Chain A
C-alpha cells in the first residue's frame, strides 16, 4: 500500500551526508516530500526527518539502503509508531481593510500567530501537522497568498525511548569490535 512514510535518521554532521541521502532516494525513484535537518543535543550529530510516499516494502528497502550510508548512525521508519508530527509554515496573505478581520479570525481558529502586519498583507505563522497546515493554506488561498514557506515535517515518537534515543554512556553503535548490540540481536525478522 502506498502511503506517506516518516523516516527519522541520526546522522553525523559531515559534508555530503544530505547529498548521499538525497541521491539514494532519487535513484530509487522516491519523491521526497520534505527533509528537515537540525542539530540535536549531542555535538556533531543531526537529526533528519524525511517524508516520502511509497509502499511499505519499498520504503523499508530504501531505509536499509540509507542505513548503509556511512554517516547515518541510525535510521528508523516511525510511520506506524503514532508519532507527534509538526511542521511550521509562514504564510504572507494579501489583506485589505475589507478582508483583514476575516483572515484574523481564521488565523485564530487555527491557533496561529500573526507576526507581521502591513497595510496590504499579514504574515501568519502556523504550526501543526501537515494536514492542518494544508487546510489552513487552502482556506487562505482565496485571499491571495503572496509568499509561502514551509519547514517540512519533524516528528518524534510518543512515550519513552524511541528508536533514535541515545542512552547515556552507551556507544552510538559498536564499531571496530563488530559485535551486535543487544537491541540488534533481538531484532525481529528483517
Chain B
C-alpha cells in the first residue's frame, strides 16, 4: 500500500509496540504532526523543551524496559535533545530520538534550521542515520529500535528530512533485520564461566558488585540465587540500587564516592570481586589503582569493550547477565562465609550510613525517610542531581527493581522533573516521587506545564537549601569554604507551582513534613512541596576525589571533628 513517510513512521512505531512519544513540533515536522492524529493509539505528549522530551523518553524506557521515543524538529529542536541523548548513552537507556531535517535538496546548504545532528550525535548514540529515501524508512526504524533495545541498550537517532516524511511510497514492513555487523554476545563463554565458578567456590571473602546491567537484563532472581546459595554479600552500584533488595540480609548498600562506608570497606578487603553489569566508573571506584587491592576480579558484562577499560579483570565474561548467571548458578556450591559476613556486619555497625541525627531543623535526610515511611517503600523515586540525589539514594530503602531512577553517568541537572513524567506515563499505577534540588528543578521547570496538561499524578519534593548544594559542599570541604557562584536567589516555588495550576505547600518545620507528604499523596494530579531545608548540610560518607574507597569522611561528630 502506498503511504507517506510520516505514515510509515507511525505504522512502524506501532508495530514495534511504541505507545507513546514525547515531542515538540516545528516546521519540518509538520507533515508528521499532520499525520499523528490519524494514529490515536500513538499517544503524543507535548513537552515544553526538547531536553524534557529526551529525559521523559529516558525515564519511560527505564521503568518499562521498552524503547522511549522522543521527537524534535530540525536545528534548535535537535540540538536541544543532545543533553538527553548523552544522558541515555551514559546510562545505557534505549531511547529512539527522531529529528526532523530540512528537505533533502537543502541539506548541506546551511538552510534555515539546518544542523548536522547525525554528525553531532555520533559520539553519543549507539547508532544514527539520516534517512534520505522514504522507501528505506521502515528498515531504518526497525533497525534503530532493534539496536536501541538489544545488547547493551543505548540511544539511537533517525534524522528524517521533511520531503522524506511527505514522499509517498510502497509500505513494506521488513520482517527480517539484516545487520551483519551487529551481534550482541548473549552467552558467556562456558570455560570462562567455569573458571569463574571454580574461583567463587574457593574464595573466603567474595563480594558481588551488582550494577545497572542487572536491571537491564532483569536478572533479579538469578542474582538473588547466586548470592544466597553461596552466601555472598551484595553491594550495588549507584544505578544498580534496587536490583537486589536492600532489606535482604546479604545486602550491603552501594559503593562509591557517597556510598556506604561498610560497602566500600567490604570491597576494599575482599579477595574476590564479582562485578556484574557495571563498568568501574570513577565515581564508583575511587582511585582505581587502589581499588580492591587484594581481590581477583570477575567481570561480567554484555559489552566486550567494557572489559579492561577502566580496570583489568582476571576473569572476564562477555554475555547477557541473566544467561551467564543461570549457567553460573548451576555450578555454584553452597558456602557459608561466616567470618567474612560477621566482619561486614561489624563494619556496618561501625559506620552507620542511614541514621538521621537528632535535629530541630528540617533535614533533607529526614524528608527522604518520611517519604519512605509514608509510602511504605512502595513508590518510584526519581531524582535530580546533587546532594538531594545522594540523600534520596541513601535514606530510602529500595527493595524493588527500577524503583530508583536517577541520572548516573552524565549527572544531568534538570533530569528529574521530565524523567518523572516518563516514569509516570510508563508506570501509571505506581506512585511517583520526584526529588529535586532548588537548582536542578529550575533547569527544566517548564515541564510542570506538561504534567498539568497530561494530568500526571506526580509528587514533587523540591529541596530548597538556597545553594547549588553539592558544589557548595565541595567548595566547603575542598576549597576551604570559598563559596562562589553557588548561592541561589530563589523564587517562591509554591507560587510557581500555582501559576502552572499545581497545588503546592511550603514546609519549613519538621512537624509539617509528614502531613505535607501525606497530603501530596492523597491529592490526585501533580503536587509540589517546597521543603525549606538545612542550608549547609553535607552528604556523607564522602570519598574525596583522589582518595581510595576506604578513605571516606563521615558525618562530623557533635564535637565537630570528622570521623574516619
Determine if chain A interacts with chain B.
Answer: yes
* Bound CA–CA A72/B126 (angstroms): 13
B181 near A12: Cβ-Cβ < 8 Å: yes
**Chain B contacts with A in 160-187, Cβ cutoff 8 A:** 176-187
A189 near B192: Cβ-Cβ < 8 Å: yes
Q: Is the interface of B mostly helix, strand, loop or mixed?
A: loop
**Chain B contacts with A in 95-136, Cβ cutoff 8 A:** 118-119, 122-123, 126-130
B177 near A70: Cβ-Cβ < 8 Å: no
Contact of B183 among A174, A185, A190 (CB under 8 A): A174
Q: Is A69 at the interface (CB under 8 A from chain B)?
A: yes
Q: Who on chain A is nearest to B315 by CB? A: A189
Known: A70-B147, A185-B189, A189-B192. A16 touches B182 (CB 8 A): no
Known: A178-B186, A180-B185, A185-B189. A12 touches B122 (CB 8 A): no
Q: Is B318 at the interface (CB under 8 A from chain A)?
A: yes
Minimum CB–CB distance from B207 to chain A (whole Å) comes to 22
* Bound CA–CA A57/B123 (angstroms): 22
Known: A172-B180, A175-B179, A178-B186. A23 touches B123 (CB 8 A): yes
Q: Is B303 at the interface (CB under 8 A from chain A)?
A: yes
Minimum CB–CB distance from B177 to chain A (whole Å) comes to 6
Please give, as numbers and ranges, the residues of chain B lying within 8 Å of A175 by CB-CB distance. Answer: 177-180, 182-183
Contact of B309 among A61, A69, A171, A185 (CB under 8 A): A61
B185 near A16: Cβ-Cβ < 8 Å: no
Please give, as numbers and ranges, the residues of chain A lying within 8 Å of B181 by CB-CB distance. Answer: 11-12, 69-73, 172-173
* Bound CA–CA A133/B118 (angstroms): 38
Q: Is A60 at the interface (CB under 8 A from chain B)?
A: yes
Q: Digitize A170-188: 1 where CB-to-B-CB distance is under 8 Å, 0 elsewhere.
A: 0111111010100011010
Contact of B177 among A15, A24, A67, A176 (CB under 8 A): A176
Q: Is B316 at the interface (CB under 8 A from chain A)?
A: yes
B307 near A64: Cβ-Cβ < 8 Å: yes
* Bound CA–CA A20/B180 (angstroms): 17
* Bound CA–CA A63/B530 (angstroms): 50
B180 near A12: Cβ-Cβ < 8 Å: yes
B122 near A23: Cβ-Cβ < 8 Å: yes
Please give, as numbers and ranges, the residues of chain A lying within 8 Å of B318 by CB-CB distance. Answer: 190
Q: Is B304 at the interface (CB under 8 A from chain A)?
A: yes
Q: Is B515 at the interface (CB under 8 A from chain A)?
A: no
Please give, as numbers and ranges, the residues of chain A lying within 8 Å of B180 by CB-CB distance. Answer: 12, 73, 171-173, 175
Q: Digitize B307-322: 1 where CB-to-A-CB distance is under 8 Å, 0 elsewhere.
A: 1110010001010000
Minimum CB–CB distance from B167 to chain A (whole Å) comes to 19
Contact of B189 among A16, A20, A71, A187 (CB under 8 A): A187
A20 near B122: Cβ-Cβ < 8 Å: yes
Q: Who on chain B is nearest to A75 by CB? A: B181
Interface centre among B122, B123, B178, B312 (most CB of A within 10 A): B122
Q: Is B339 at the interface (CB under 8 A from chain A)?
A: no
Minimum CB–CB distance from A67 to chain B (whole Å) comes to 7
Q: Is B350 at the interface (CB under 8 A from chain A)?
A: no
* Bound CA–CA A11/B180 (angstroms): 9
* Bound CA–CA A184/B304 (angstroms): 12
Q: Is A158 at the interface (CB under 8 A from chain B)?
A: no
* Bound CA–CA A178/B63 (angstroms): 25
A64 near B122: Cβ-Cβ < 8 Å: no
Please give, as numbers and ranges, the residues of chain B lying within 8 Å of A68 by CB-CB distance. Answer: 126, 303, 305
B130 near A15: Cβ-Cβ < 8 Å: yes
Minimum CB–CB distance from B537 to chain A (whole Å) comes to 38
Please give, as numbers and ranges, the residues of chain B lying within 8 Å of A64 by CB-CB distance. Answer: 304-305, 307
Contact of A16 among B118, B179, B316 (CB under 8 A): B118
B122 near A61: Cβ-Cβ < 8 Å: no
* Bound CA–CA A61/B187 (angstroms): 20
Please give, as numbers and ranges, the residues of chain A lying within 8 Å of B177 by CB-CB distance. Answer: 175-176
Q: Is A113 at the interface (CB under 8 A from chain B)?
A: no
Q: Is A149 at the interface (CB under 8 A from chain B)?
A: no
Known: A70-B182, A187-B189. A176 touches B303 (CB 8 A): no
Please give, as numbers and ranges, the residues of chain A lying within 8 Å of B309 by CB-CB distance. Answer: 61
* Bound CA–CA A190/B303 (angstroms): 11
Minimum CB–CB distance from B347 to chain A (whole Å) comes to 34
Please give, as numbers and ranges, the residues of chain B lying within 8 Å of A184 by CB-CB distance. Answer: 185
Q: Is A65 at the interface (CB under 8 A from chain B)?
A: yes
B122 near A19: Cβ-Cβ < 8 Å: yes
* Bound CA–CA A69/B304 (angstroms): 12
A70 near B126: Cβ-Cβ < 8 Å: yes
Minimum CB–CB distance from A69 to chain B (whole Å) comes to 7
Minimum CB–CB distance from B195 to chain A (whole Å) comes to 9
A60 near B308: Cβ-Cβ < 8 Å: yes
* Bound CA–CA A180/B122 (angstroms): 28
Known: A70-B126, A189-B192. A176 touches B308 (CB 8 A): no
Contact of A27 among B123, B183, B303 (CB under 8 A): B123
* Bound CA–CA A70/B150 (angstroms): 12
* Bound CA–CA A184/B189 (angstroms): 9
**Chain A contacts with B in 127-143, Cβ cutoff 8 A:** none
A70 near B179: Cβ-Cβ < 8 Å: yes
* Bound CA–CA A189/B318 (angstroms): 10
**Chain B contacts with A in 490-504, Cβ cutoff 8 A:** none
* Bound CA–CA A175/B150 (angstroms): 11
Contact of B127 among A15, A70, A173, A185 (CB under 8 A): A70
Please give, as numbers and ranges, the residues of chain B lying within 8 Å of A57 by CB-CB distance. Answer: 308, 312
**Chain A contacts with B in 1-56, Cβ cutoff 8 A:** 11-12, 15-16, 19-20, 23-24, 27
A190 near B123: Cβ-Cβ < 8 Å: no
Please give, as numbers and ranges, the residues of chain B lying within 8 Å of A61 by CB-CB distance. Answer: 305, 308-309
**Chain B contacts with A in 305-341, Cβ cutoff 8 A:** 305, 307-309, 312, 316, 318
Minimum CB–CB distance from A64 to chain B (whole Å) comes to 4
Contact of B129 among A11, A16, A173, A190 (CB under 8 A): A16
Q: Who on chain A is nearest to B178 by CB? A: A175
* Bound CA–CA A173/B307 (angstroms): 22
* Bound CA–CA A172/B186 (angstroms): 17
Please give, as numbers and ranges, the residues of chain A lying within 8 Å of B126 by CB-CB distance. Answer: 68, 70
Minimum CB–CB distance from B107 to chain A (whole Å) comes to 12
Q: What 4 A-B pairs have minimum CB-CB distances, sorted nearest first?
A: A64-B305, A172-B180, A73-B181, A65-B305
A and B contact pairs by CB, cutoff 8 A, 14 listed = A15-B130, A57-B308, A61-B305, A64-B307, A65-B305, A69-B181, A72-B181, A173-B180, A173-B182, A175-B177, A178-B183, A178-B184, A180-B185, A190-B318
Q: Which B residues are closer than 8 A to A by beta carbons? A: 118-119, 122-123, 126-130, 147, 150, 176-187, 189, 192, 303-305, 307-309, 312, 316, 318
* Known A16-B122, A178-B150; 9 more pairs at CB < 8 Å: A60-B308, A64-B304, A64-B305, A64-B307, A70-B179, A171-B180, A173-B180, A175-B183, A190-B307
Q: Which A residues are closer than 8 A to B by beta carbons? A: 11-12, 15-16, 19-20, 23-24, 27, 57, 60-61, 64-65, 67-73, 171-176, 178, 180, 184-185, 187, 189-190
